[in-house]
Amino acid sequence: MRIDGATIFCLRIPFVEAFRHSTSVRSFSDSIVVRVRAEDGTVGYGEGVARSYVTGETVESMVSHIVNRLWPAVADADYSEISRSEDPLTALSSIDESLPEDKGDGVIAWHGARTAIELALIDCLLRSKSLSLGKILPAKRRSVTYSGVITAGSIEAAVRHARYFKLFGLKYLKIKIETTDPVERVAAIRRAVGSRISLRVDANGAYGAVTAAKILSALHEFGVDAAEQPIKRGLPAELAQLRTSSPIPIVADESLVTLEDARALVDARACDCFNLRLSKCGGIFRTLQMARLGRSAGLRVQLGSHVGETAILSAAGRHVAAHLEHVDFVEGSYGSLLLAEDISRDSVVFGHAGVAPLLCGPGLGIKVCEEVLRNYARNIVSLSSPARLAHFRKGEVRNVSTNQESHQPVGETPASDARAGRNLARKRSTTFPA
């Protein structure tokens, strides 16, 4: 099966409330969504998230990488059907192998861009056979239970969020902690939710090693189940050193982007748990690879998410979370709890107690609403197969069509956006050099 064309949507979907952690304040989703179209007319959607402080990618560099590196490889490939296999990695390996691997340019890994393309291809190839991703990743459970994540900001607001999550029946909460008041914050939330709710913390690398050790010792009395990335990404030995003194299990997040990172963390005995996130880890194939490596080394696994993911990454995460034999905590599927509007026709948001059903429809199992994609796209890039452009030399990247679509102002502001008190992002035409 050949892929004839692709379209990149650079989204800017407002949040209903700003989300804070120690390294950023975010008030809109800046995912890129890729739609691929196969020669039989089937389309599939994928999503990647740019986080310069995680993978080193920006929205602009992701788009450029797709245009110049990933898309030419996809347009040149002839994909076989994805068929059921004993091993999901076997079923998905041809897609992974078709995508080039590049290093350098200050980027740890082009994993956001890769994830957007990988998921779009998986969705498209499965849809062409009316096959659900659940057939490739057989579920080990009947539903997935999500954690709530509490943004940084004032302690009062954090406590309010914690109480809301408790009322909603959530049993697992993750608290974003900042440099100034981590112990007071966790103490206040523990008082508010009682002793039966599982609490863990995420510092997003906010502390130096000495300070982190003191904070983890102080947090122990509040029954914290895990501490994520207390110090910034660096040598695994530094995290290992902290782990030896920590009474709280250590979760590697920003320290874990590539499979090489995973091996180094295992070798150094640097953590107790891997936090895997699809867009950070490079898609489903690589996430499963890292999960297996972690489990075989006796580590726990958490399936996390990026703030502001749309229904595409939420759906893919649902399938992976359902498939993993052992997964301690799952995050994501916040959909319209955070986004002014999500891009799927059916909600992916979890229900009471954080429980969400499995997705059974073809491909990733959601129906993407193109109108919403276009409404919130600040830039749209169309790519055509070089094979279809006879007057261009095959493989000459400059000649891959990168037509900017013209944008009309959005005629109507969605009610949910008005509720958030924000205006839609003004659409701009950005030129991405071929």
Query: Which residues are near Mg ion by CB under 5 A?
Result: 202, 228, 253
Nearer to Mg ion, 202 or 309 (CB): 202
The torsion angles phi and psi of 4, rounded to 5 degrees, stand at -85, -35
Q: What is the DSSP string of 373-421?
A: HHHHEEEEEEEE-GGG-TTS-TT-GGGS-EEEPP-PPPSS--HHHHHHT
- Structure tokens given for 287: 């996430």
Residues near 380 by beta carbon (within 8 Å), at least 6 away in sequence: 7, 8, 9, 10, 374, 404, 405, 407
Nearer to Mg ion, 253 or 328 (CB): 253
Nearer to Mg ion, 123 or 202 (CB): 202
Residue 251: CB minimum distance to Mg ion, A: 8
Residue 228: CB minimum distance to Mg ion, A: 5
Residue 21: CB minimum distance to Mg ion, A: 8
Is beta strand 43-48 parallel, antiparallel or unpaired with respect to 32-38? antiparallel
Which residue is closest to Mg ion by CB? 253
SS3 of 149-210: EECCCCHHHHHHHHHHHHHCCCCEEEEECCCCCHHHHHHHHHHHHCCCCEEEEECCCCECHH
Nearer to Mg ion, 30 or 202 (CB): 202
Nearer to Mg ion, 54 or 66 (CB): 54
* Beta-bridge partners for 173: 148, 199
Nearer to Mg ion, 57 or 253 (CB): 253
Question: Are 93 and 60 within 8 A, CB to CB?
Answer: no
Question: Are 233 and 53 within 8 A, CB to CB?
Answer: no
Question: Are 404 and 379 within 8 A, CB to CB?
Answer: yes
Residue 229: CB minimum distance to Mg ion, A: 5
Residue 226: CB minimum distance to Mg ion, A: 11
Nearer to Mg ion, 134 or 236 (CB): 236
Nearer to Mg ion, 96 or 328 (CB): 328
CA distance 284 to 111: 11
DSSP for residue 68: I
The alpha carbon of 69 is separated from its chain's Cα centroid by a whole number of angstroms, namely: 21
The alpha carbon of 18 is separated from its chain's Cα centroid by a whole number of angstroms, namely: 18
Residue 254: CB minimum distance to Mg ion, A: 7
